[in-house]
Amino acid sequence: MKRTLGGINALYPTPTVIVGAIVAGKPNFITIAHIGIVNHAKPYLISISMAKAHYTNAGIKEHKEFSVNLPGEKLVVETDYVGMVSGKKVDKSTLFELSFGTLKNAPLINACPICMECRLYDTYDTPTHDLFIGEIVATHAEEAVLTDGKIDIAKARPILFDMNTVTYWSLGPAIGACWSIGKQLKK
Ligand SMILES: Cc1cc2nc3c(=O)[nH]c(=O)nc-3n(C[C@H](O)[C@H](O)[C@H](O)COP(=O)(O)O)c2cc1C
């Protein structure tokens, strides 16, 4: 017998990312856990859901570019910090060493092993949030997190976010091969 919890979102954990944008001429960073995969074919689209009150939103709207940086577990303190203080009050522009790829308004965090440059594709407006949909223009990954040229999450060690416990979690072991383990039920 299940207890009904009302219409709460039960989709955790999600990966925790640091979104970067240029706001008022300076890089600014915001922690985002409400992210999604929109389109897994060209154009490759992802979504980030950002409360309208945040400082970063204006930079994304102005330049129509942003970065999505995936921190590893080692960066948990910095990841939490940029999710606690606002660029309205605190200058977060010097916290990380940065580089730029193709997009000049998508600051990439060197300490994050995986960084995606995104061009704003569309915005879905809700009363409280801007759901920014970004087209991934380029993805950059450290050799150290690759296996056979592909991103290996066991090496990247993403930071998983759970709103229920407001806690960061670590990735556990793999439990089966996709599009494969279910074959045993095929007649
Ligand atoms: C773990 C974590 C996840 C967060 N996820 C989101 C999110 O998905 N959407 C959102 O609007 N704010 C989220 N926040 C809050 C913002 O990161 C935070 O308010 C930030 O300080 C805003 O920065 P800014 O005002 O400089 O843009 C999260 C914070 C933390 C610590």
Output the CA 18–ligand 1 centroid distance in Å: 9
The neighbouring-strand residues paired with 99 are: 108
Burial class (CB in 10 A: 0-12, 13-18, 19+), 102: exposed
Nearest to 30 by CA among 93, 105, 103: 93
- How confident is the prediction for the chain on average, in pLDDT? 98
**37-89 residue pLDDT tens:** 999 999 999 999 999 999 999 999 999 999 999 999 999 999 999 999 999 99
Q: Which CATH class is domain 14-185?
A: mainly beta
Q: Are strands 160-162 and 14-15 parallel, antiparallel or unpaired?
A: antiparallel
Output the CA 180–ligand 1 centroid distance in Å: 37
Output the CA 52–ligand 1 centroid distance in Å: 11
Which residue ranges have their beta carbon within 6 Å of ligand 1?
16, 28, 30-34, 49-51, 54-56, 80, 83-88, 161
**Domain positions in the chain:** 14-185
